[in-house]
Amino acid sequence: MTAIFLWFEVVFLSCTTLNTKKKMQLSGHSKKLILLAEDDADDQELLENALGEIDPSWQLMCIPNGKKFLRYLETISDAELPALLVLDYNIPELTGMEIIEQLNDQVRYTNIPKIIWSTSNSPAYKAKSMALGVADYIIKPSDLASFLSIAKHMLSFVKE
């Protein structure tokens, strides 16, 4: 008997996907858009739920790896740029820090607040992140109540 295994990657479980984003009208969305580099579906969902409770007008768009994250930013117009970038420190293909290093080389992204978040409370990770000019280094919480507090803190970096 031959077994057939199907391998697929579930990329976006709760956040707006790239495909959905392409179908949306983009005008006006960038001011209320947070772009999240995150491969963990639970973290995506918890952050999306927290943002929805705080202010449902905010849209969270999740991209599961660093290369796709950079590719997306490179393909959108200045008017479509998000209000906030949140990057997982250990995202696949390019880490959050590698993404920040590349974004820092481009004037286009200078005024967008960037936050690194991670499960690690390593002082070295935080120091490296802050040295690259991120707005904050946040330890990922594990429950919705903590996500609410973190989401409010994240939004405090956005100028409306």
**pLDDT above 80: residue 119:** yes
**pLDDT above 70: residue 97:** yes
Q: Domain with 138 in it: what CATH number?
A: 3.40.50.2300
Q: Is 45 contained in some domain? A: yes
Q: Is 3 contained in some domain? A: no
**Confidence category of residue 145, pLDDT binned at 50, 70, 90:** confident
Q: Is 44 contained in some domain? A: yes
Instruction: Give mean pLDDT, residues 41-64.
Output: 92
State residue 31's pLDDT score: 66
**Confidence category of residue 142, pLDDT binned at 50, 70, 90:** confident
Task: Look at the chain and report how many structural domains it folds into.
Answer: 1
**pLDDT above 80: residue 129:** yes
Q: Is 15 contained in some domain? A: no
State residue 144's pLDDT score: 78
Q: Is 93 contained in some domain? A: yes
74-103 per-residue burial string, b: 16 or more CB within 10 A, e: under 16: eeeeeeebbbbbbbbbebeebbbbebbeeb
Instruction: For residue 118, give every residue at least 6 positions away whose Cβ sits within 8 Å of its Cβ, in sequence order, or none.
Output: 88, 89, 90, 96, 125, 137, 138, 139, 140
Q: Is 2 contained in some domain? A: no
State residue 160's pLDDT score: 62
**pLDDT above 70: residue 29:** no
Instruction: Give mean pLDDT, residues 56-73.
Output: 94
Domain holding 150, by residue range, is 27-155
Whole-number Å distance between alpha carbons of 42 and 142: 9
Q: Is 10 contained in some domain? A: no
**Confidence category of residue 130, pLDDT binned at 50, 70, 90:** very high
Q: Is 8 contained in some domain? A: no
Provide the mean pLDDT of the chain: 83
